[in-house]
Amino acid sequence: ADAAAERDVIVFRSYIALGSYQQLVISEIDSSAATSLQAVKLLALYLTGDKEGAIASLKEWLSDSAIGSNPVLRLIAGIIFMHEQDYNEALKHTHTGGTLDLHALNVQIFLKMHRSDYADKQLKIMQQTDEDHTLTQLANAWLDIAVGGSKIREAYLIFQDFAEKYPMTGMVLNGKAVCCMHMGSFEEAETLLLEALNKDAKDPETLANLIVCNLHLGKPSSRYFSQLKLSHPDHVLVKTTTSAEGNFERALQAVA
């Protein structure tokens, strides 16, 4: 029964990753489902726009001593609070770890907080548990990119290994492309990103990386920015660019 529940969590999280929230997740998981599946449903509800309702339910469940320590519930809490950019609240529920998923999420959170030293400690725990696990390798690549320098090449080789073992995904293509940009190989990065765009024309990271890559290549990037602004108005690149444009306009008016 435990293995079946774990399998279902992976399947429903995969549906969420594909953007199929309502039909394949929310409508399929009813109130009698296990806590871990209810938690996954909360993530789907959050991503459809019911943020306040999802966070309220999440906090209520986390305070319940009977289910609050459920590792999947803690994982979903970490993911949701990371989306909210409330990293301290996310770590409150994930820092004790217990599963590779939780440790991998901790790596992400610490990197968001610019604390690669703490991310490295989480990675070491993962490596002691299972050094060859896909999540461990992925977390290793994230940390290598954050550290930079000679580590970029190591990250590139990890993504290259994924590309040889598994079907190419947007995440792997973006990972390789980011490494290429760090190494100054912008033409190769553009080729990889255009391949990723063919797989998902609305993927925010692909669009954001294409904007950056095209700027370095001296190519126009306005089309990709328009797509990103339309499909993901809350993306950090859209927000910072819009803010900078507003500041520039105010400065122009002040001079005029």
* CA atoms within a 13 Å half-sphere pointing along the CA-CB vector of 45: 22
For the stretch 82-108, pLDDT in tens is: 999 999 999 999 998 889 999 999 999
pLDDT at 212: 95
Domain that includes residue 74, residue range: 1-82
CA 126 to chain centre: 18
Q: Are residues 78 and 103 in the same domain?
A: no
Q: What is the pLDDT of residues 25-63, one digit of tens each?
A: 998 888 888 899 999 999 999 998 889 999 999 999 999
Same domain? For 152 and 117 the reply is no
Of 77, 140, 71, residue with least CA distance to 108: 140
125 and 154 share a domain?
A: no
Alpha helical stretches, state H, 49-97: 51-62, 71-83, 87-94
* Residue 31 token pair: 């109130």
Is 154 among the domain residues?
yes
Which amino acid is it at 215? L
Assigned domain for 93 exists: no
* pLDDT at residue 18 is higher than 90: no
The count of domains in the chain is 3
Q: Domain check: are 74 and 104 in the same one?
A: no
Residue 162 domain-assigned (yes or no): yes
Arithmetic mean of pLDDT, 135-156: 96
How far is residue 37's CA from residue 56's CA, in Å, rounded to a whole number?
Answer: 17
In a domain, residue 73? The reply is yes
Residue position matching structure tokens 């440790």: 103
Residues 196 and 247 in one domain: yes
Per-residue pLDDT tens over the stretch 173-206: 999 999 999 999 999 999 999 999 999 998 999 9
Mean pLDDT, all residues of the chain: 93
- Asked if residue 5 has pLDDT above 90, the reply is no
d(CA 132, CA 155): 14
Looking at the fold, whether 128 and 159 belong to one and the same domain comes out as no
Are 141 and 206 contained in the same domain? Answer: no
218 within a domain of the structure (yes/no): yes
Say if residue 69 is in the same domain as residue 24.
yes
pTM for the full predicted model: 0.89
